[in-house]
Amino acid sequence: MATLSLAGCNRHQSALAPFGVEASSTRDLTIILLIGAVVIAVAMSLLIRHAIRTPGERLTHRQGMKLVLWAGGVVPTILLFTLLVTSLPAMRPLPTSRADLTINVEGEQFWWRVAYRPPNAARVVSANEVRVPVGRTVALKLMGGDVIHSFWIPGLAGKMDMIPGRTNTLVVRATKPGRFRGVCTEFCGLSHALMAFDVVAMEPAAFDRWLAAEAKPAAGGNALFAQYGCGGCHAIRGTGEAGAIGPDLTHFGARQTLAAGVLPMTTANVASFIRHPEKTKPGVRMPAFDHMPPADAVALARYLQGLK
Amino acid sequence: MSDQNDLTLRAEQEERLRAVWKPPEGLFLRWTDVNNNRVGVWYTLTAFGFMLFAGVLALIMRTQLAVPENDLVSANTFNQLFTLHGSMMMFLFAVPMFEAVSIILLPQLLGARDLPFPRLSAFGYWSFLLGGVFVGGSIFFNAAPDGGWFMYPPLTTRTDLSGLGADIWMLGLSFIEVSSVAAAVELIVGVLKCRPPGMRLNLMPLYAWYILVVAVMILFAFPPLIAGDLLFEMERLLGWPFFDAAKGGDPLLWQHLFWIFGHPEVYIVFLPSIALFAMLIPTFAQRHLLGYPWIVLAAVGTAFLSFGLWVHHMFATGLPKISLAFFSAASEAVAIPTGIQVFAFIATLWAGRVIWSTPLLYAVGSIAIFTIGGLTGVMVAIAPFDWQAHDTYFVVAHLHYVLIGGTLLPLFGGLYYYWPLITGKKLSDRIGRIAFWVMFAGANLAFFPMHLSGLEGMPRRVFTYPAELGIGGLNMASTVGAYLFATGVLMVCIDLALSPTRPKGVRNPWNAGTLEWLAKPEDENWGIRSVPLIESRYPIWDQKDFVAKVDEGRFFLPDAEEMKRETIVTTVLDARPLQVVRLGTPSFIPMATAVALGSVFILTTYHLYWWSLAGAFVTLGCVLTWLWTGTAIIPEKPEKSIGHGIVVPLYISGPSASGWWAMFITMLADATAFSGLVFGYYFYWTVHPDFPPPDATGPGVFWPMVAMGTQLASWAATVVAREVHARGQVLAARSLLIVGIVLTLASLLAGLAGPWFTGLNPSEHVYPAIVWVLAIWTAAHAGVGVICQGYTLARSIAGRMTPRYDADLRNITVFMHFLALTAVVTYATIGLFPGASS
């Protein structure tokens, strides 16, 4: 067990490396449950060994029935009841107030539509990245766009499904800043394995500055973007490009990764993704721009990366 | 019976039994066999083959996942692999394997010559084979289902996002579900009606108890899924929006229907293994099992609870807190009866003189593995922990510990234990033990690391994972473990393959005490020489000269004077002899019926609706031929002696007959499927404030009430017909049946007239769609009702049914009871329910 823990250890996408109150309490619960499970498993093994090695007639029928009653019935009932009662409080979500930040997240094949709804300001649309302020309660409103997805940031909290026709609420509070990762955990089609997102937990003041910057329009438009009709699907606020089918690209260059947490944000990756998105993500909704000269793709990639 | 001392007489009896039970031979004719010995073996081998196939699919997956960012198989192939692996292991291995083994063992356990409906077993087998090859073979055409074994809509119902595979899953597996239910009916009636005289319920071998419990679970668990399948295909093929949120449908309805099936399913595949333990542990502890009544109660309790915890598969769907608490509690509670059963085994081993053996090694090893799976099960039953673990590799680890410890290894243990019973030869203890330890090591190496990879953020059903996650080492360990496990399975296969070269062994090699071990190494097809009187749970140990008395034909029914296949039917509770029933003989008809019914499902998959309709008519023809020529045959004499001065009738009808029970049980399953649809209606009504939509027009009140009234009148006519017929007024009964046919037809048309005349458009919104489905379901049943009534009328006119021999009329009355109930519920729901018709 110990060696295994050392072998597999990541700090950015693990339920065992929490950075939020819910994930922390669940991690503690996990450790208690694991210790209990190991103790019971070892005790059972020893008992079975003993039962097999004991010669016949050492245990009378009456004693045997007592064993069944106590070890099989009474003790498990007490243990399970205690476990249930102690875990009930953890089923209650964190309390929220009107003053809390709300973030809408909608799952699409195979990316995330994100909208920040601060209590006293306009909504800010983004994609494939969720930023949360440390120490503040945040209500995530989760929806399914096309099919069922599930929203999971292992280090922050448990998962919650995104179901078409419903809105589920997941309330979280980050406890330490850092860069983390979330993934889709409900099988949602060909590229289910390639549907992740970046999570950034920021100090509250830094978060407020970032959100204010994120709300601003982009620096300027681009002729190639218009020429290839990218605005049919993608929006870049302030340029007149307002497509709503694909991810919003207003501050694309400020994101750490490309294609919903799949590729590092480099010019080469962006350029090749534009021309052949299906090579990175099978089943992606974005059409291939096969005919686009590589030079144009690189120029477009540079422009997009400049949208900070 | 003193004449059993006459050796010549005994030899003549044996000659007659042998001739009567002689299996058909020849290249083609052998496949017409219906006897449980051969059909059970075919069934077992086929299920075993599907298990190996699904196992190979898993190996391909593990190879793909051995290292991060691997590209051995494409995402498309991988999705087909995991969907098919899960679906085949569940529907084509675990459940059918239990039924197959039970078909072999049950008659032996009960000292019966065969199961009550041998042709139904054969039909079940051929359906299973056909459906299994159809579903499993699809992967060779890159057309296998790829939506996961749970097939959640809308991913799987949207035809732009999913292809033929989804239809293959729905229709192919629905077909197999039908055959599973057929086998369940057979096994329930077998346990309840075909026990040997004296074997009261509390003397039944525990395996029979478990068969009863599990078969009843199948009866109530599979039909909701069949109802779900129906809605699912209506959406895929016709665009009726049951799961489409944009048109008032709800994807969660599928999840409820699926898991109402899916969770009991876990216990359906687990309890039979406990049943095998319950047979082999007393043998190797050389004493009675401790706490028999507790085990029975625990098994029943597990079954009962298992229907109340399906929602724990849906903890992450955003449920109300009260549901979370309730279903967490129920999921924890199911561990308690399981604990009782496991500790009863431990106490028995403790109290007994344990003889160490290969089957016992498998039993003990499986309990150890299962315990780990059970403990992680308790963990995931706690909702907050489940929110982290759900849909990650932690759950993959959990379920494989449960299924390997709770299904696969016990089955291998059972194989080593029962192989001598079936073939007369022991398997190699040495190979068996080595294979066990290889599999034990492999299973732990494969699945233990998955607990950690899951908590380290690895979701299920991913065809690849990034190297940064740091779980490459854990995955490599899992892959090595999977291959190690496969090596162990291969060793078992080699052991089995060597069996034909080995000599026959001795009778009852483990010195067991239960009835099935009467089988001789050079077994006869007749099942048992004479049907014994049972006075103990372990008759071979406890009853004096038991084996000799059976062998010398000193018990009941030692002969087949009329050259007919026969077995004894007894009462449900205390097993008093009621009847000698004549059993079905080898025939092509079960196979033909299976092929015809299969064609209906398979042709529908390819949208060949007219051909599929033709297939339905052929199926109907096959079923009617089967019934007309093979059931409720008037015997040449009213009764016969079974020895010891006991004379019983050869023909009984009504609630004491096995046929009546089969009809009743089948209709329970049918009513359960119907309640799945009704659940759908009320689910929409409860969950969606806009159901029915304010501007919707319902089917009105008039036509539904006409339909209800005429159906009830038809039911009354049938019941009265049964009564006057029993009093000998045959003509009056025939007239009433004619009236009944007219009324049922009127009800059928009136039921459809409601939604038809009000112009309900089922593809517009979920409300008209569910109204139409309920109306069509009921109308289709009315159609079957017309056929039942017409068939009975024809039997009467043809002289195949008389007031003394009236099983047909009594059995169709059972159908008419359920039809009336269906009609009342349907028409009250669509016609009278608040807001239904405006």
The per-residue pLDDT for range A127-184, each reduced to its tens digit, is: 999 999 999 999 999 999 999 999 999 999 999 999 999 999 999 999 999 999 999 9
Q: Provide the pLDDT confidence category of residue A292 given band limits of 50, 70 and 90.
A: very high
Beta bridge partners of A199: A130, A180
CA distance B442 to B251: 38
Written as one letter, the residue type at A183 is: V
B303/chain A closest Cα distance in angstroms: 17
The count of residues in chain A is 308
Q: Using one digit for the tens of pLDDT, what is the confidence trace for B335-350?
A: 999 999 999 999 999 9
Q: Among partner residues A22, A40, A90, which is closest to B375 by beta-carbon distance?
A: A40
A197 touches chain B (CB under 8 A): no
A94 touches chain B (CB under 8 A): no
Q: Using one digit for the tens of pLDDT, what is the confidence trace for A43-75?
A: 999 999 999 999 888 899 999 999 999 999 999
Structure token pair of residue B703: 């036509």
Q: Provide the pLDDT confidence category of residue B690 given band limits of 50, 70 and 90.
A: confident
The arithmetic mean of pLDDT across residues B539-548, rounded, is: 96
The whole-number pLDDT of residue B836 equals 53
The whole-number pLDDT of residue A5 equals 46
Closest by CA to B356, choosing from A103, A285, A54, is A54
Q: Using one digit for the tens of pLDDT, what is the confidence trace for B635-650?
A: 999 999 999 999 999 9
Structure token pair of residue B450: 């998955």
Domains and CATH numbers, chain B: 1-27+34-255+524-652 (1.20.210.10), 677-832 (1.20.120.80)
Q: Among partner residues B155, B347, B385, which is closest to A67 by beta-carbon distance?
A: B347
Find the closest chain A residue to B477 by CA distance: A4
CB contact under 8 A, B328 and A7: no
Q: Which residues contact B578 (CB under 8 A, 6 or more apart)?
A: B569, B570, B571, B648, B649, B652, B656
B346 touches chain A (CB under 8 A): yes
Q: Using one digit for the tens of pLDDT, what is the confidence trace for B106-120?
A: 999 999 999 999 999
Interface test with A, best of B87, B385, B460, B475 (most A CBs within 10 A): B385
Residues from chain B contacting residue A73 (CB–CB below 8 Å): 336, 339-340
The whole-number pLDDT of residue B434 equals 98
Written as one letter, the residue type at A88 is: L
Q: Using one digit for the tens of pLDDT, what is the confidence trace for B167-222?
A: 999 999 999 998 899 999 999 999 999 999 999 999 999 999 999 999 999 999 99
B388 touches chain A (CB under 8 A): yes
Would you tell me the crossing angle of helices B251-285 and B335-351 to the nearest 10 degrees? Answer: 10
Q: Among partner residues A9, A185, A282, which is closest to B459 by beta-carbon distance?
A: A185
Helix (H, G, I), strand (E, B) or coil at A180: strand
CB contact under 8 A, A84 and B332: yes
- Determine contact, residues B445/B523, Cβ cutoff 8 Å: no
The whole-number pLDDT of residue B204 equals 96
Options 3.30.565.10, 2.60.40.420, 3.30.2350.10, 2.60.40.1180; CATH for A223-305 is 2.60.40.420
The arithmetic mean of pLDDT across residues B38-52, rounded, is: 97
Closest by CA to B518, choosing from B425, B419, B527, is B527
* Residues of chain A above pLDDT 90, percent: 90
CA distance B151 to B649: 51
Residue B250 predicted with pLDDT over 90: yes
Burial classification of residue B727, based on how many CB atoms lie within 10 Å of its CB (0-12 exposed, 13-18 middle, 19 or more buried): exposed
The whole-number pLDDT of residue B835 equals 63
CA distance A214 to A103: 14
- DSSP letter for A20, please: B
* Residues of chain B above pLDDT 70, percent: 99
Q: Provide the pLDDT confidence category of residue B837 given band limits of 50, 70 and 90.
A: very low
CB contact under 8 A, B379 and A157: no
What ipTM did this prediction achieve?
0.96
Residue A6 predicted with pLDDT over 70: no
Q: Provide the pLDDT confidence category of residue B321 given band limits of 50, 70 and 90.
A: confident
The whole-number pLDDT of residue B322 equals 86
Residues from chain A contacting residue B384 (CB–CB below 8 Å): 22, 25-26, 29, 87, 90-91, 158
The arithmetic mean of pLDDT across residues B696-701, rounded, is: 88
User: In B502-656, where do the E strands start and end?
Assistant: 566-570, 577-582, 639-643, 646-649
Q: Which residues contact B343 (CB under 8 A, 6 or more apart)?
A: A67, A68, A71, A72
Residue B563 predicted with pLDDT over 50: yes
The whole-number pLDDT of residue A4 equals 45
The whole-number pLDDT of residue B838 equals 45
Residue A1 predicted with pLDDT over 60: no
Across all residues in chain B, what is the average pLDDT?
Answer: 95
Q: Using one digit for the tens of pLDDT, what is the confidence trace for B276-295?
A: 999 999 999 999 999 999 99
HSE (side-chain half, CA atoms, 13 Å) at B746: 17
- Kindly report the three-state secondary structure assignment for every residue of A56-94: CCCCCHHHHHHHHHHHHHHHHHHHHHHHHHHHHHHHCCC
CB contact under 8 A, A80 and B332: yes
B325 touches chain A (CB under 8 A): yes
CA distance B228 to B158: 16
Helix (H, G, I), strand (E, B) or coil at A167: strand
Residue B694 predicted with pLDDT over 90: no
Q: Among partner residues A25, A59, A76, which is closest to B350 by beta-carbon distance?
A: A59
A269/chain B closest Cα distance in angstroms: 16
- Determine contact, residues A157/A142, Cβ cutoff 8 Å: no
Residue B781 predicted with pLDDT over 80: yes
Q: Using one digit for the tens of pLDDT, what is the confidence trace for B492-530?
A: 999 999 999 999 999 999 999 999 999 998 878 998 999
The arithmetic mean of pLDDT across residues B748-769, rounded, is: 95
Helix (H, G, I), strand (E, B) or coil at B655: coil
Residues from chain B contacting residue A50 (CB–CB below 8 Å): 350
Closest by CA to B227, choosing from B755, B777, B775, B691, is B777
Burial classification of residue A117, based on how many CB atoms lie within 10 Å of its CB (0-12 exposed, 13-18 middle, 19 or more buried): middle
The whole-number pLDDT of residue B833 equals 81
B371 touches chain A (CB under 8 A): yes
- Determine contact, residues B766/B242, Cβ cutoff 8 Å: yes
Residues from chain B contacting residue A171 (CB–CB below 8 Å): none
Q: Do domains A9-53+93-213 and A223-305 have the same CATH topology?
A: yes
Helix (H, G, I), strand (E, B) or coil at B34: coil
Q: Walk across the sheet containing A178-184 and list its strands.
A: A129-133, A196-202, A178-184, A149-152, A160-162
H or E segment to which residue A150 belongs: strand A149-152
What helix, strand, coil percent values describe chain B, rounded to 5?
A: 70, 5, 30
CA distance A41 to B375: 8
Q: Among partner residues B147, B250, B325, which is closest to A165 by beta-carbon distance?
A: B250
CA distance A200 to A55: 63
CA distance B62 to B380: 24
Interface test with A, best of B252, B280, B360, B388 (most A CBs within 10 A): B388
B629 touches chain A (CB under 8 A): no
Q: ω before B704 within 30° of 0 (cis)?
A: no
- Kindly report the three-state secondary structure assignment for every residue of B407-459: HHHHHHHHHHHHHHHHHCCCCCHHHHHHHHHHHHHHHHHHHHHHHHHHHCCCE
CB contact under 8 A, B388 and A168: no
The arithmetic mean of pLDDT across residues A239-268, rounded, is: 95
Across all residues in chain A, what is the average pLDDT?
Answer: 94
Cα B474 → chain centroid = 37
Structure token pair of residue B786: 């017309």
Interface test with B, best of A11, A48, A191 (most B CBs within 10 A): A48
CA distance B233 to B228: 9
Closest by CA to B656, choosing from B725, B572, B533, is B572
The whole-number pLDDT of residue A10 equals 87
- Determine contact, residues A234/A240, Cβ cutoff 8 Å: no
| Total-model pTM | 0.96
Residues 276-305 of B with CB under 8 A from A: 285-287, 290-291, 294
Find the closest chain B residue to A262 by CA distance: B466
Residue B408 predicted with pLDDT over 80: yes
Cα B566 → chain centroid = 25
What b-and-e string marks burial along B747-783, b requiring 16 or more CB atoms within 10 Å of the CB?
Answer: bbbbbbbbbeebebebebbbbbbbbbbbbbbbbebbe
If one looks up domain A9-53+93-213 in CATH, what number appears?
2.60.40.420
Helix (H, G, I), strand (E, B) or coil at B714: helix
A61 touches chain B (CB under 8 A): yes
Neighbouring CB atoms inside 10 A of B359's CB total 27
CB contact under 8 A, B347 and A59: yes
The arithmetic mean of pLDDT across residues B423-445, rounded, is: 97
Residues 77-106 of B with CB under 8 A from A: 79
Domain spans of chain A?
A: 9-53+93-213, 223-305
CA distances from B364 to B15, B232, B541, B656 (A): 44, 42, 24, 41
Q: Among partner residues A61, A92, A164, which is closest to B290 by beta-carbon distance?
A: A61
